[in-house]
Amino acid sequence: MRSQVGPLNIDTLAWESLGKHGLRRKVLSQDQDTGAVTQYVQIPANWKGGGVSHFHSCFEEAFIIEGDVTLNGRDDLVTGSYLYRPSNIVHGHDEGANQGCMCIIRMGAQMDFNLVHDPESEEEYPLEVMTDPRGHVLDLRTSEMDWTGQGDEDNRYHFKLLSMDPETKAYTALLSLDPGWNGRLSTGNEYGREWFMLLGSWKREDGTTFDANTYYYAPPGTPHAAVTSSKDGCIVLTWMHAEG
Ligand SMILES: [Fe+2]
């Protein structure tokens, strides 16, 4: 179970090193029981990964805030790219980055590292039949997706669905409010929920402002204030959980 976090501005957190290849991270929230974690990660320019094929027993999810990263020596994830990698996907034989990037990486549990000595392919591939209903989202260019209008006329907002579990309805999405938006964006509190403000800000009914580069995690049952306005508009990366 994770405890409530935030609103937490990432500028207030210290960097810590992640692995042995120059990555740094700021932990945004962590489940102490399972090891599941949401982290803000910096990949340096000219980064070169370990260069060995491997897989993890938990899912991995990434959103590139700015910059690039290379997965198989060829395909670049760029600003706005989204990756959802289910458990047991073989990857990593030629990872790197040119300009480097800032990104958010979520892991579904404590990360293990299982080496594959003789990979079957240079591309990412499932070790066995994939059972994760979200599927394998390798590089969704979210900047090329159209926004979908949601809500009624007084509360119109915009949405891009990045991935969803059709069984539990847990999802990852981008949400956008236009400049001057004024309405009521209430969110249920039955399940845990995370937000990361990518751009702009919104104001909540309790008067607090949720600014750019701020993270918030609300566990199930948390009474949280509805969003009521956004002076300059905003874009938020959000995760709806199916449980804690
Ligand atoms: Fe990996």
Looking at residues 150-154, what average pLDDT do you find?
81
What distance in Å separates the CA atoms of residue 138 and residue 88, rounded to the nearest whole number?
A: 14
Res 59 pLDDT > 60? yes
Compute, in angstroms, the gap from residue 75 CA to the centroid of ligand 1: 16
Confidence of residue 74 (pLDDT cuts 50, 70, 90): confident
Ligand 1 centre distance from Cα of residue 89 (Å): 9
Contact at 8 Å (CB) between 197 and 210? yes
From the CA of 135, how far away is ligand 1's center (Å)?
A: 17
| CATH classification of the domain holding 231 | 2.60.120.10
Domain C-terminal end among 120, 143, 166:
143
Cα(92) to centroid of ligand 1, in Å? 6
Same domain? 188 vs 109 = no
Whole-number pLDDT of residue 195? 96
Same domain flag for 125 and 25: yes
- Are 23 and 75 in contact by the 8 Å Cβ rule? The answer is no
The region that residue 32 occupies, defined by phi over 0 for left and psi between -120 and 50 for alpha, beta otherwise, is alpha
As residues whose CB is below 5 A from the ion ligand 1, the structure lists 92
Same domain, 49 and 153: no
Beta bridge partners of 82: 63, 140
Residue 147 confidence (pLDDT) above 80: yes
243 C-alpha to ligand 1 centroid (Å):
25
Residue 131 and residue 175 share a domain: no
- Do 171 and 137 lie in one domain? The reply is no
71 and 131 share one domain: yes
Indicate whether 5 belongs to any domain: no
Q: How many other C-beta atoms can be found within 10 angstroms of the C-beta atom of residue 201?
A: 18
Q: Based on the fold, state whether residues 134 and 18 are members of the same structural domain.
A: yes
Task: Give residue-wise pLDDT tens across range 42-56.
Answer: 999 999 988 899 999
The per-residue pLDDT for 217 is 94
For residue 8, the CA-to-ligand 1 centroid distance in Å is 27
Domain enclosing residue 187, as ranges: 146-240
More confident residue, 20 or 94: 94
Q: How far is the CA of 196 from the centre of ligand 1 (A)?
A: 23
Residue/partner pairs of 164-168 with CB below 8 Å, 24 or more apart: 164/134, 165/133, 165/134, 165/242, 166/133, 167/133, 168/242, 168/243
Instruction: Give the mean pLDDT of 14-22.
Output: 91
The C-alpha atoms of residue 108 and residue 87 are separated, in whole angstroms, by 9
Domain contains 4: no
Same-domain status, 185 and 125: no
Q: Which residues contact 205 (CB under 8 A, 6 or more apart)?
A: 184, 225, 226, 227, 228
pTM for this model (two decimals): 0.95
Query: Residue 244 pLDDT > 60, yes or no?
Result: no
Do 124 and 169 fall into the same domain? no
Domain-ending residue, one of 143, 173, 206? 143
Residues 21 and 136 in one domain: yes
In this structure, is residue 106 part of a structural domain?
Answer: yes
- What's the pLDDT at 188? 74
Q: Which of 114, 143, 172 is the last residue of a domain?
A: 143
Which of 44-48, 70-74, 164-168, 171-175 is least confident?
70-74
pLDDT at 190: 86
Question: Is residue 7 domain-resident?
Answer: no
Q: Is 139 found in the same domain as 151?
A: no
Q: How far is the CA of 118 from the centre of ligand 1 (A)?
A: 16
Ranking 48-62, 194-208, 212-226 by mean pLDDT, the lowest is 212-226
How many domains does one find in the chain?
2
Same domain, yes or no: 202 and 170: yes
